[in-house]
């Protein structure tokens, strides 16, 4: 299949939608470190470029986004440090694996464990022609962490899966999925924002506690006690749902499901071991919950059949 316009044929090729400052002060497209494993999947006829990256401990500094993209973590970071738009470094704990970024984000990032993620980048010329430009940044800036929407996450996964399969339905299918993802994001941003509740800081600590302990047996009382919640358990559940968008029980199950799915999809565990490692009491309970969540059984998940190497950094797929 033909090489796409963004491919450089090696691990030093540029990253779609990300620039850095050259010695003369101009912005140039950024090249990832040679140790990163990267595959860029695109077609000269498609407005969507998919980058699939695996990177160990890294620090990337003074970069700027030049376009609109989604990032979906296949292996989520336990700890991620970010510095955005001149602000100090800050630890970030992601509640969901999906991130949305617009052009104009200046950022640096560092992490200490191996991460795997997919970015879906949209060509600005296509955004302008299709009327999908947002007309400016969101009120809170060009970065949206913790995008929590099942439908949007499934659309982004479908874009990635279609690209890995070689875009068998042609570039128009990827274009339609991309448009659907952007329209869904615009809809989510148009909804009234939740108020900041008095117990929001406590709920943030509750989320962090769940991230640390979700593999163990958990109860609502244990979480409330761990964060010194001052009210009763019913009040805690209501406050958590207002702050996070779901009940503590729903959040724990979602976290366990995502973690187990990652283990299975990456070939690190079979279904039974993934279920037990992520806090489910039995494999049958996990399988039933998984099927209810995604409509397939966990045994239908398959690890990548052709893991790519550093040398196989970019492949163009399309017709």
- Residue 309's pLDDT is what? 39
Angle at Cα 280 formed by Cα 276 and Cα 286, nearest 5°?
100
- Residue 282's pLDDT is what? 92
Neighbours of 173 (CB within 10 A): 16
The closest alpha carbon to 52, from 216, 167, 164, 186, belongs to 164
> What structural domains does the chain harbor?
18-190 (2.60.120.10), 200-300 (1.10.10.60)
State the pTM of this model: 0.64
The closest alpha carbon to 96, from 247, 236, 207, 205, belongs to 207
- Residue 161's pLDDT is what? 85
Signed CA dihedral, 163, 165, 171, 175: sign only: negative
Q: Compute the distance between CA of residue 169 and CA of residue 141 in angstroms, rounded to an integer.
A: 35
What does the pLDDT profile of the chain (319 residues) look like in tens digits?
222 333 333 334 678 888 887 777 777 888 888 899 888 877 777 788 899 898 988 999 999 988 899 998 887 776 789 998 878 898 887 777 889 998 888 999 999 888 889 999 998 888 888 777 654 444 446 788 878 787 888 899 889 888 888 888 888 888 899 999 999 988 888 776 555 455 678 888 898 899 899 999 999 999 999 999 988 888 899 888 887 778 899 999 989 998 898 888 878 889 999 999 999 999 999 999 998 887 788 888 765 444 443 333 333 344 4
- Residue 146's pLDDT is what? 78
* Three-state secondary structure call for residue 70: strand
In the block, tokens 């397939």 appear at: 296
Kindly list the strands in the beta sheet with 115-122, ordered across the sheet, starting from the edge strand earlier in the chain. Answer: 37-41, 48-55, 115-122, 68-75, 98-101, 143-144
Distances (CA, A) of 317 to 40, 47, 160, 191: 9, 13, 12, 36
Under 8 Å between Cβ of 160 and 52? yes
């Amino acid at each position: 299949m033909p090489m796409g316009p963004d491919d450089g044929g090696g691990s030093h090729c540029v990253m779609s939608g990300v620039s850095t400052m050259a010695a003369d002060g101009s912005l140039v497209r950024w090249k990832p470190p040679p140790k990163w494993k990267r595959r860029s999947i695109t077609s000269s006829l498609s407005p969507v470029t998919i980058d699939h990256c695996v990177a160990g401990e890294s620090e990337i500094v003074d970069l700027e986004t030049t376009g609109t993209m989604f990032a979906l973590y296949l292996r989520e970071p336990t700890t991620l440090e970010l510095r955005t738009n001149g602000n100090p470094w800050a630890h970030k704990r992601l509640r969901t694996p999906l991130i949305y970024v617009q052009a104009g984000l200046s950022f640096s990032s560092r992490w200490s464990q191996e991460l795997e993620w997919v970015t879906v980048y949209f060509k600005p010329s296509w955004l302008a022609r299709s009327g999908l430009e947002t007309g400016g940044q969101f009120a809170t800036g060009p970065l949206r962490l913790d995008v929590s929407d099942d439908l949007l996450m499934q659309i982004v996964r479908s874009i990635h899966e279609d690209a890995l399969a070689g875009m068998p339905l042609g570039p128009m299918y990827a274009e339609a999925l991309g448009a659907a993802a952007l329209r869904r994001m615009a809809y989510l941003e148009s909804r009234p924002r939740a108020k900041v509740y008095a117990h929001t800081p406590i709920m943030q600590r509750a989320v962090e506690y769940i991230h640390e302990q979700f593999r163990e047996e958990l109860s609502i009382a244990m979480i409330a006690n761990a964060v010194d919640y001052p009210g009763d358990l019913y009040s805690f559940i209501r406050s958590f749902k207002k702050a996070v968008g779901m009940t503590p029980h729903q959040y724990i199950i979602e976290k366990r499901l995502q973690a187990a799915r990652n283990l299975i999809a990456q070939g690190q565990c079979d279904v039974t071991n993934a279920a037990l490692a992520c806090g489910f009491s039995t494999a049958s309970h996990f399988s039933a919950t998984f099927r209810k969540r995604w409509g397939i059984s966990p045994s239908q998940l398959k690890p990548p059949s052709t893991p790519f190497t550093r040398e196989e950094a970019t492949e163009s797929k399309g017709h």
